[in-house]
Chains A and B, each alone.
Chain A
């Protein structure tokens, strides 16, 4: 936490713990997420990543510890699956969430604009089941970014997409995000994804989960690419940590 000062709009997570019965899931997580930065959280599967996200979203109350800097008005959220309502068109799916959140006059133009950026204008009146998996996730991205909150939480949002589509979608996401930057906390298990997205990357340990490592990526996002030597170096380092943690956990088992 050497960055120190909590700025206005930063999210401060202070010594969060959470138990499910006798099982300790989170064991004292403390971090400061700076305003308008993207933070990725990596860790072995079944560590407390999702629980941590649920606490930030306000779905779960921590046993001890506090979270400050998050509004009670709800946060933007991008799920692993699109989570669209089958019986509403693309447009209606967006208004289902946004109708009371955006001013009436700007609702329609805002949606049209985001649909256009996501190459979805032609699918405005389609039902989700007529769209491809990638198109559905684009609708979900539009919904999450249109949501008027300074914070966006993401739970492995690109996991179920195939490789080519995945990086295309990450680029599209970043493009839209840059238009109107906001604080993003992204849980993922994919090192490459984290390297392309994040300003800071936290490593969570096995349960009971603590913060194991923290990486700061200083290279501007626009200059990053998958074959960048600097990033490859960081990636190696990160994979080492990940393997270490996985080995530790398998010894524990």
Chain B
């Protein structure tokens, strides 16, 4: 249970400490490919994308699209996350519930996210589509993490609580939840990472009035490849930002009993 949080911390460290050369390499390869192709329409040069991005952030529409997607992402993620944790706990603690729920979970996990998008397009108005799709992708992921966490809770501690007849509520809050905390964090990291990807895909398909995905689609229709790249950079930064924030929270606010 310690390895998963360590993995996360290492990943963050890697992204902070070693980006200089790796970013340079990415830009060089990108520039190289852009020069070779020589058509902005197909692959714009990195500096061109940067210029477009710079112009974009100065428009009020940019922020409106940005915050619409941000809000939708946070709402979709939080909703899926808490549902995932609740269901994960229920399934982890009750084998009957688990038996009924497991096939549903497996089905959800193996369904292509595009299927959810296509169905959601038929069922919902465009604003709800992205949240619905995010739910169906993030929810099983989080549930799976919680189940894994519950499976590794030390049975000796559970036996202790059982012998001492500790109340179930206290066992849940004081024993299970802290024990699976690293898994909850890992689930949040994995869920957030995928939220933005799925969210953009759903927005491109559902074209809500405001949203990064909608603008990416418009940019694509009008062959503004540089803008598609610029928006992609925005989404990547968004994911990166949330990943780092979560790593920071994990490092500083949780697990005080592990502090030296």
Chain A residues close to B by CB (< 8 Å):
57-59, 73-75, 77, 79, 81, 83, 85-88, 92, 96-97, 99-101, 127-129, 147
Number of residue pairs A-B, CB distance < 8 angstroms = 55
Total interface residues in chain B, CB < 8 Å: 21
Cross-chain contact A79 with B164 (CB below 8 angstroms): no
The complex places the Cα of A59 from the Cα of B162 at a distance, in Å, of: 8
User: In the complex, what's the smallest C-beta–C-beta distance from B5 to chain A, in angstroms?
Assistant: 13
0/1 interface trace, chain B 97-121, chain A, CB 8 Å (1 if under) = 0000000000000000000000000
Cross-chain contact B178 with A74 (CB below 8 angstroms): no
Cross-chain contact A83 with B166 (CB below 8 angstroms): no
Binding-face segment, B57-65, B152-160, B230-238: B152-160
User: In the complex, what's the smallest C-beta–C-beta distance from A40 to chain B, in angstroms?
Assistant: 20
The complex places the Cα of A68 from the Cα of B12 at a distance, in Å, of: 59
Cross-chain contact A99 with B170 (CB below 8 angstroms): yes
User: In the complex, what's the smallest C-beta–C-beta distance from B2 to chain A, in angstroms?
Assistant: 11
B259: nearest residue on chain A (CB-CB)? A127
Cross-chain contact B178 with A83 (CB below 8 angstroms): no
B164: nearest residue on chain A (CB-CB)? A97
By a CB distance below 8 angstroms, the chain B residues around A99 are 170
The complex places the Cα of A127 from the Cα of B150 at a distance, in Å, of: 22
Chain A: interface secondary structure? Answer: loop
Cross-chain contact B170 with A96 (CB below 8 angstroms): yes
Cross-chain contact B257 with A86 (CB below 8 angstroms): yes
By a CB distance below 8 angstroms, the chain B residues around A77 are 160, 163-164
By a CB distance below 8 angstroms, the chain A residues around B175 are 85, 96
By a CB distance below 8 angstroms, the chain A residues around B36 are none
Cross-chain contact A85 with B174 (CB below 8 angstroms): yes
Cross-chain contact A79 with B156 (CB below 8 angstroms): yes
17 new A-B contacts, CB < 8 A, other than A96-B170, A96-B175, are: A59-B159, A59-B162, A59-B163, A74-B164, A77-B163, A77-B164, A79-B156, A83-B156, A87-B255, A88-B178, A92-B174, A97-B161, A100-B166, A100-B167, A127-B257, A128-B257, A129-B257
By a CB distance below 8 angstroms, the chain A residues around B164 are 74, 77, 97, 101, 147
The complex places the Cα of A85 from the Cα of B160 at a distance, in Å, of: 10
By a CB distance below 8 angstroms, the chain B residues around A100 are 166-167, 170
By a CB distance below 8 angstroms, the chain B residues around A81 are 156
By a CB distance below 8 angstroms, the chain A residues around B179 are 87
A144: nearest residue on chain B (CB-CB)? B164
User: In the complex, what's the smallest C-beta–C-beta distance from B232 to chain A, in angstroms?
Assistant: 41
The contact of A74 among B163, B170, B258, by CB within 8 Å, is B163
The contact of A73 among B157, B165, B170, B255, by CB within 8 Å, is B165
Cross-chain contact A87 with B166 (CB below 8 angstroms): no
User: In the complex, what's the smallest C-beta–C-beta distance from B253 to chain A, in angstroms?
Assistant: 13
By a CB distance below 8 angstroms, the chain B residues around A79 are 156, 160
Cross-chain contact A96 with B159 (CB below 8 angstroms): no
Contacts of B117-158 to chain A: CB distance below 8 A: 156-157
The complex places the Cα of A1 from the Cα of B188 at a distance, in Å, of: 61
The complex places the Cα of A59 from the Cα of B156 at a distance, in Å, of: 13
User: In the complex, what's the smallest C-beta–C-beta distance from A137 to chain B, in angstroms?
Assistant: 14
The complex places the Cα of A56 from the Cα of B28 at a distance, in Å, of: 72
